[in-house]
């Protein structure tokens, strides 16, 4: 892995324009609404987290995916670690992570992640990755090494992994589950009808099967929680959102995150609609009534936002 230091990306909350390789069914939707304004903070905690990540040659999804919550999370000394490099083998139309041919796998990365978790004093660590379809196990073994290192150096820390679909390789999923993460997260991202447009290299039914398969490892000795996230504003209807939520509950998914899709650059999929905070509150209530143990729903919510709080309701 390259040790070249990166400056923080400039966050872009681009609104819908038609100057893109993706076509929109609607006219430009105008400036972003006021509830999407971000309070910037580059205080001491923010800078210390950024420098620590750089010094350990790590990547965070906060930086690579241009997450709008980076200032809040880094200032609170939290981060979502992204392993297996910073180049993805897939071509999702919403994602700001670089696409292309990945570099080598850094064998020291699992230990470095664990060291970062210890330096931050985390009680809940979130680990994700780029898609690595070039690897026979999709990177599952590297996830296992990272989970093991984090647990060894941080025995009281809960571990959440946000994994790829491993192309439906359940043996790869089995490797990860046997490492016993506390939360197994795989994002649905969008509704079934939009999968070909939004996630051209993925399959909606395979996503559902992965969530269901992960849940089969749950026992009294291993009370693993399953989790998934959906973006809103890519052209889906409320009814389609409800259907996707019902599908996840049918797979016994425990935790759901719902957030507003924000276009990272003009070369990405356009925003079709901005949902209001009131609509997100309504979606949260619908999700709780469906039986999700916890629903995090709001305009700036991302899959690992407030992840340490995603505990089952008493």
CATH code of the domain containing 146 = 3.20.20.70
User: Mean pLDDT over all residues of the chain?
Assistant: 82
Q: What is the pLDDT of residue 280?
A: 97
> Span 171-197, mean pLDDT?
97
The CA-based diameter of the chain, rounded to the nearest angstrom, is 53
Which residues lie closer than 8 Å to 199 by C-beta, 6 or more apart?
90, 92, 93, 189, 190
CA distances from 124 to 95, 172, 220, 305 (A): 25, 23, 21, 12
> Span 130-145, mean pLDDT?
97
Residue 12 domain flag: no
Q: What is the pLDDT of residue 116?
A: 87
Other Cβ atoms closer than 10 A to 258: 25
Helix (H) or strand (E) holding 42: none
pLDDT level of residue 23 (50, 70, 90 thresholds): very low
Is pLDDT at 206 greater than 50 in this prediction? yes
Alpha carbons 33 and 18: distance in angstroms, whole number: 19
> Span 139-156, mean pLDDT?
97
Query: Which contacts qualify for 87-91: CB closer than 8 Å, 24 or more apart?
Result: 87/130, 88/130, 88/131, 89/130, 89/131, 89/132, 89/133, 89/134, 90/131, 90/133, 90/199, 90/200, 90/201, 90/202, 91/200, 91/201
More confident residue, 56 or 22: 56
SS3 state at 263: strand
Residue 31 domain flag: no
Number of domains in the chain: 1
Q: How far is CA 53 from the centre of its chain?
A: 18
**CA-only gyration radius of the chain, Å:** 18
pLDDT level of residue 309 (50, 70, 90 thresholds): low
Alpha carbons 266 and 264: distance in angstroms, whole number: 7
Q: Is 76 exposed, middle or buried (0-12, 13-18, 19+ CB in 10 A)?
A: middle
Residue 35 domain flag: no
Other Cβ atoms closer than 10 A to 205: 11
pLDDT tens per residue, range 168-179: 999 999 999 999
Is pLDDT at 10 greater than 50 in this prediction? no
pLDDT level of residue 32 (50, 70, 90 thresholds): confident
Q: Which domain holds residue 227?
A: 42-309
pLDDT level of residue 55 (50, 70, 90 thresholds): low
Residue 176 domain flag: yes
Residue 301 domain flag: yes
pLDDT over 70, % of the chain: 74
Point out the least confidently predicted range of 117-126, 211-220, 292-301. 117-126
Q: What is the pLDDT of residue 119?
A: 84
Is pLDDT at 281 greater than 80 in this prediction? yes
Cα 229–20–193 angle (5° rounding)? 40
pLDDT over 90, % of the chain: 60
Residue 33 domain flag: no
Residue 29 domain flag: no
Residue 21 domain flag: no
pLDDT level of residue 242 (50, 70, 90 thresholds): very high
């Amino acid at each position: 892995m390259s040790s070249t230091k990166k400056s923080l990306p400039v966050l872009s909350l681009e609104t819908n324009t038609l100057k893109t390789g993706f076509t929109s069914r609607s006219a430009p939707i105008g400036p972003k609404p006021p509830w999407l304004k971000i309070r910037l903070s580059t205080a001491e905690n923010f800078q210390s987290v950024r420098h620590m990540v750089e010094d350990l040659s790590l990547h965070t999804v906060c930086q690579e995916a241009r997450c709008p919550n980076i200032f809040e999370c880094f200032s609170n000394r939290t981060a979502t670690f992204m392993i297996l490099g910073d180049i993805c083998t897939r071509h999702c139309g919403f994602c700001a992570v670089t696409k292309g041919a990945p570099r080598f796998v850094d064998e020291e990365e699992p230990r470095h992640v664990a060291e970062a978790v210890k330096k931050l004093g985390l009680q809940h660590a979130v680990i994700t990755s780029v898609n690595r379809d070039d690897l026979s196990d999709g990177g599952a073994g590297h996830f296992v090494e990272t989970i093991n290192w984090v647990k060894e150096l941080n025995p009281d820390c809960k571990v959440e992994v946000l994994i790829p679909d491993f192309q439906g390789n359940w043996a790869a999923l089995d490797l990860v589950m046997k490492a016993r993460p506390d939360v197994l997260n795989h994002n649905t991202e969008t509704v079934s009808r939009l999968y070909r447009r939004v996630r051209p290299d993925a399959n909606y039914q395979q996503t559902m099967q992965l969530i269901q398969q992960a849940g089969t490892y749950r026992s009294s000795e291993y009370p693993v929680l399953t989790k998934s996230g959906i973006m809103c504003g890519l052209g889906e209807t409320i009814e389609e959102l409800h259907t996707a939520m019902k599908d996840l509950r049918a797979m016994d998914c425990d935790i759901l995150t719902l957030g507003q899709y924000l276009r990272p650059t003009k070369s990405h999929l356009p925003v079709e609609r901005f949902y209001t905070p009131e609509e997100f509150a309504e979606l949260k209530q619908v999700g709780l009534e469906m039986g999700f143990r916890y629903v995090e729903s709001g305009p700036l919510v991302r899959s690992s936002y407030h992840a340490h709080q995603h505990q089952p309701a008493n």
